[in-house]
Amino acid sequence: MAGNKAVIYRGAGRVEVETTEYPTFELKDGPGVNPHNVGRQLPHAAILKVVATNICGSDQHMVRGRTTAPEGLPLGHEITGEVVETGRDVEFTKTGDLVSVPFNIACGRCRNCKEGKTGICLNVNPDRPGSAYGYVDMGGWAGGQAEYALVPYADWNLLRFPDRDMAMAKIRDLAMLSDIFPTGFHGAVTAGVGPGSTVYIAGAGPVGLAAATSAFLLGAAVVIVADLQKDRLEQARSFGCETIDVSAADPADQIEQILGEPTVDCAVDAVGFEARGHGSDAEVERPATVLNTVMGVTRAGGAVGIPGLYVTGDPGASDEAARQGSLSLDFGLGWAKSLSFTTGQCPVMRYNRQLMMAILHDRTNIARNVNATVIPLDRAAEGYAEFDHGAARKYILDPHGMIG
């Protein structure tokens, strides 16, 4: 059987590409694998030759040592690949299919899956509802920053591209379907973005830029992207966004300079728990700052989408409350303004097929907008380091040299 190489977390600040076992149709013991999942038989799974697998900001939280991820965990939840083997119970997925893998692992059988809430499947993670590949406390499913990856419940989870040649011509765009494009779109949809909307997006990382792309796709009139990194703000401006540097002045004041009023119709938090302060506090970690800001700048009766990651445990937090996932929120303000909030994992399958069609038929340029940059799997550590330093790029790992 073929070998495998994968990106492995080796402690705070360290990832290494190592030789690992080729996937099998049984979940084996290993770092992060829940004991109740060990020995789980997977006749419903497919093995993929990974065509593209991305570095995500959520991975970066683990690599910075800001979660309880164990050393030895194989990383990566953004997977696009070619089916090379299927289990005996796989009926519709065929060898040779080129597919996108939602980062949510879902069984398709439980109440939540049947209701379209695939981000909180009840059956794949003994720790809590919801699971993902290569992620802390998500059941122990091996990550996909690898040459080969296993996808359980293949007939349910995989999105097949209808034409291989067309798909390979747009593979950089289609690689965004596994996570950041649906996640950004979910943030915009749940914030209520529609034709003529004014939108504030906190964070110009890949998810923030995907949310901005989605806002335009949904018909927004003005999209304002906020960040501390000048290169990332420049990337947002490259496709028509207004931008504000939150280190320079209060976001509400800068919004008023753009719109003539200090509030927007909709807001998206694409930053999450490693947020920094604004203005003079820009160099200090303030995990509640973004949430409080989006509540402040959203009009009364508006909505806030929160695709940015928040955790139940952060060993690197600056105070004890934040280490337990407890933040000092101005919730009274949000209540008084009758704001709506949507949190949690994006249910990727709710959006990925529609976004695939938008890509294939030239209605969006998500890879250009997030500055997708392809590097070999062996350069994964370099990609993680550059991303950690604020590179205005979305790194795509190319394990087999299929992208070029």
CATH number at residue 308: 3.40.50.720
Last residue of a domain, one of 305, 324, 342: 342
Q: Are residues 223 and 323 in the same domain?
A: yes
133 or 312, greater pLDDT: 133
Is 297 part of a structural domain of the chain? Answer: yes
Over residues 102-109, the mean pLDDT reads 98
Is 404 part of a structural domain of the chain? Answer: no
Domain that holds residue 84: 4-179+347-398
Match 């490693």 to its residue by tokens.
274
- Give yes or no for residue 171 having a pLDDT over 90: yes
Highest mean pLDDT, choosing among 14-23, 277-286, 311-320? 14-23
DSSP string across 167-211: HHHTHHHHGGGGTHHHHHHHHHHHTT--TT-EEEEE--SHHHHHH
Report the C-alpha gap between 87 and 153 in whole angstroms: 10
Is 403 part of a structural domain of the chain? Answer: no
The pLDDT value recorded for residue 326 is 87
Per the prediction, the chain carries an average pLDDT of 95
Q: Is the dihedral of CA 185, 190, 195, 201 positive or negative?
A: negative
Is 119 part of a structural domain of the chain? Answer: yes
The enclosing domain of 29 has a CATH number of: 3.90.180.10
Over residues 343-360, the mean pLDDT reads 97
The pLDDT value recorded for residue 313 is 81
Q: Is the dihedral of CA 312, 304, 184, 199 positive or negative?
A: negative
Burial of 260 (C-beta count, 10 Å sphere; 0-12/13-18/19+): exposed
Report the C-alpha gap between 209 and 276 in whole angstroms: 18
The pLDDT value recorded for residue 162 is 97
The pLDDT value recorded for residue 287 is 82
Close Cβ partners of 78 (under 8 Å, ≥ 6 residues apart): 53, 54, 55, 56, 103, 144, 175, 178, 179, 180
What number of residues does the chain have?
404
The pLDDT value recorded for residue 374 is 98
Q: Are residues 39 and 106 in the same domain?
A: yes
**Lowest-confidence segment of 47-61, 182-196, 203-217, 273-287 by average pLDDT:** 273-287
The pLDDT value recorded for residue 323 is 85
Q: Are residues 174 and 206 in the same domain?
A: no
Is 382 part of a structural domain of the chain? Answer: yes
Beta strands 46-54 and 394-398 are antiparallel
Beta strands 222-227 and 298-305 are unpaired
pLDDT per position as a tens digit, 209-224? 999 999 999 999 999 9
Is 139 part of a structural domain of the chain? Answer: yes
Q: Which of 24, 30, 27, 29 is nearest to 46 (CA)?
A: 24
Is 23 part of a structural domain of the chain? Answer: yes
Task: Indicate the pLDDT class of residue 283, thresholds 50, 70 and 90.
Answer: confident
- Give yes or no for a contact between 80 and 175, defined as CB atoms under 8 angstroms apart: yes
- Give yes or no for a contact between 141 and 105, defined as CB atoms under 8 angstroms apart: yes
Angle between helices 251-259 and 289-297 (to 10 degrees): 30
Q: Which of 127, 19, 136, 124 is nearest to 77 (CA)?
A: 136
- Give yes or no for a contact between 120 and 128, defined as CB atoms under 8 angstroms apart: no
Q: Please report, rounded to a whole number, the percentage of residues in the chain having pLDDT higher than 90.
A: 89
DSSP string across 65-133: T-S-PPTTPBP---EEEEEEEE-TT--S--TT-EEEE-SB---S-SHHHHTT-GGG-SSS-SSSS--BT
Is 188 part of a structural domain of the chain? Answer: yes
Q: Are residues 334 and 247 in the same domain?
A: yes
Over residues 266-279, the mean pLDDT reads 90
**Lowest-confidence segment of 107-116, 143-152, 280-289, 395-404 by average pLDDT:** 280-289
- Give yes or no for residue 1 having a pLDDT over 60: no
Rounded to a whole number of angstroms, the distance between the first and last alpha carbons of the chain is: 26
- Give yes or no for a contact between 121 and 130, defined as CB atoms under 8 angstroms apart: yes
> How many domains does the chain divide into?
2
The pLDDT value recorded for residue 7 is 98
